[in-house]
Structure 1
Amino acid sequence: MSQTRVQQKDAYSLILDAIDTGIYRPGDRLVESDLAERFGVSRTPIREALQRLETQSLLARDGRSLIVASLDHNQMSELYAVRTELEGLAARLAARHATEEEIQVLQGMVDEDRKLIDEPQALARANRRFHKQIHLASHNRFLVQQLDLVHRSMALMATTSLAAQGRGEVALGEHAAIVDAISRRDEHAAYKALRDHISVAFVTRLKLDSLKSGD
């Protein structure tokens, strides 16, 4: 692989991670020269990475500038509808295919994440790792690819539903129920537990957005 292709991949991953972790938020303007300086990458791979992110609808045009895209209410509803079904399927397949070691990792994540209840951003990162582990435990590469696309779009939401008061503790209880169903190899219960978990997260996010719009 050429150095240019390595840099292009790195530039894409660096910008995507910066969006995912909230360094760049919806509406923020991305400038080639600034990104090249921040990440220590030449402008050519930065330009190519920006074009790729625009093609994936993670960036949008604002005149001649590129900004981090945002989701309107309908787009968010559509995203959650797809996410609910795909995540539920991942849990169902994980109950069928997960190894005992993968289940142990999931159980350990739930226990460790309880230490982060009062840290919404850290808990949000841990939440992404937890869901990714379930995706991998499904042992279905095509499902994992589709869920990766969905979770990239989730980064376009300015806040995490885990920032709502009391949501962190409730979410971890839901995680525990999901892992319990997977460990019992109860495919239907795992599917339902994860679907319910995403549904509650969506309701919480809608409430947060309604409060923000009322300010």
Structure 2
Amino acid sequence: MLETVIKPKTLKETALEQLRMAIMTGQLTPGERLVERSIGEQLGVSRTVVRECIRHLESEHLVTVSASGPLVTILDSDEIRQIYQLRAMLECEAVRHCAQQVTPEIVQSLQDDLNQIRVELSAGDIVGALEHARLFYEYLFVTAGMTVAWELTDRLNGRIGRLRFMTLSTKGRAVEGPDNLQKIIDGIAKGDSEAATDACKKHINEVCRISLRFDN
């Protein structure tokens, strides 16, 4: 049998992923100036490619272009609150829809992603856990039939991932975070939309409080 050919990533796509991840994981700190030549040398790409990546990250609000050049965006407390408020509205609605149309397949898929998140966090692989968290929420939204809401959420994923990395790096969250997601899955599995959405709200309120402790 022939296998589907996977399109190879372009140089720009690879560089963009690495630069985005460096911002999300704090390797490039908030307010830090992005020097095209230095970044290009580290990534092994031209300044033109770096410039294109920076423009893309500016559209994701991970980079801010100032008079002195591009900087890693500083998230202020108001922006953080808005991100979590939007997450609460959209994610709770997705959770409610999933609980109302629950099947064993839906529960198993969510559980598989959560189990993988636990494995990666136990191994100290927060980056891997971030990717499976993204898959967890994508499946949640798509299964709920909320594809437009997922498109909106996905546009925020750079900033969401940055906040998620910070919260998962705090003491106890590598266990508490997945435990909260388990409560959401348990509510969905029972078809109890109220319990599932309550667990979702609690989880988001907790991570919002943690994020606001950081000086971004």
TM-score interval (norm. to shorter)? 0.7 to 0.9
Once the two structures are TM-superposed, the CA of residue 143 in structure 1 deviates from its matched residue by: 1.2
Matched, 1:174 2:171: no
SS in 2 for 1:103: helix
Matched, 1:81 2:81: no
Tell me, yes or no, if the aligned pair for 2:24 and 2:159 is still in contact at 8 Å: no
Matched, 1:188 2:210: no
Once the two structures are TM-superposed, the CA of residue 113 in structure 1 deviates from its matched residue by: 3.7
Q: What CA deviation, in whole Å up to 9, does each residue of 1:7-48 have, x standing for no partner?
A: 444443332233223332322222222333333333323212
TM-score by length of 2: 0.77
CA distance in 1, matches of 2:207, 2:106: 24
Once the two structures are TM-superposed, the CA of residue 131 in structure 1 deviates from its matched residue by: 3.2
Aligned residue type for 1:172:
P
Percent of counterpart pairs with the same letter?
27
Aligned residue number for residue 112 of structure 2: 108
Q: What CA deviation, in whole Å up to 9, does each residue of 1:163-186 have, x standing for no partner?
A: 333333222221111111222333
69-78 vs 40-49, which moves further? 40-49
Q: How does 1:45-84 map to 2 (within 5 A)?
A: 45-84=49-88
Tell me, yes or no, if the aligned pair for 1:70 and 1:156 is still in contact at 8 Å: no
Tell me, yes or no, if the aligned pair for 2:60 and 2:156 is still in contact at 8 Å: no
CA distance in 1, matches of 2:48, 2:38: 13
Unaligned runs of at least 5 residues, structure 2: 1-8
Once the two structures are TM-superposed, the CA of residue 75 in structure 1 deviates from its matched residue by: 1.5
CA distance in 1, matches of 2:51, 2:118: 40
Aligned residue number for residue 12 of structure 1: 16
Q: How does 1:115-134 map to 2 (within 5 A)?
A: 115=119, 116-117=121-122, 119=124, 121=126, 125=130, 126-134=132-140
Matched, 1:23 2:27: yes
44-53 vs 130-139, which moves further? 130-139
Unaligned runs of at least 5 residues, structure 1: none
Aligned residue type for 2:210:
T
CA distance in 2, matches of 1:138, 1:67: 37
Tell me, yes or no, if the aligned pair for 1:117 and 1:168 is still in contact at 8 Å: yes
Tell me, yes or no, if the aligned pair for 1:99 and 1:137 is still in contact at 8 Å: no
CA distance in 2, matches of 1:52, 1:203: 29
CA distance in 1, matches of 2:172, 2:133: 15
TM-score by length of 1: 0.77
Aligned residue number for residue 40 of structure 1: 44
CA distance in 1, matches of 2:22, 2:50: 13
CA distance in 2, matches of 1:9, 1:123: 18
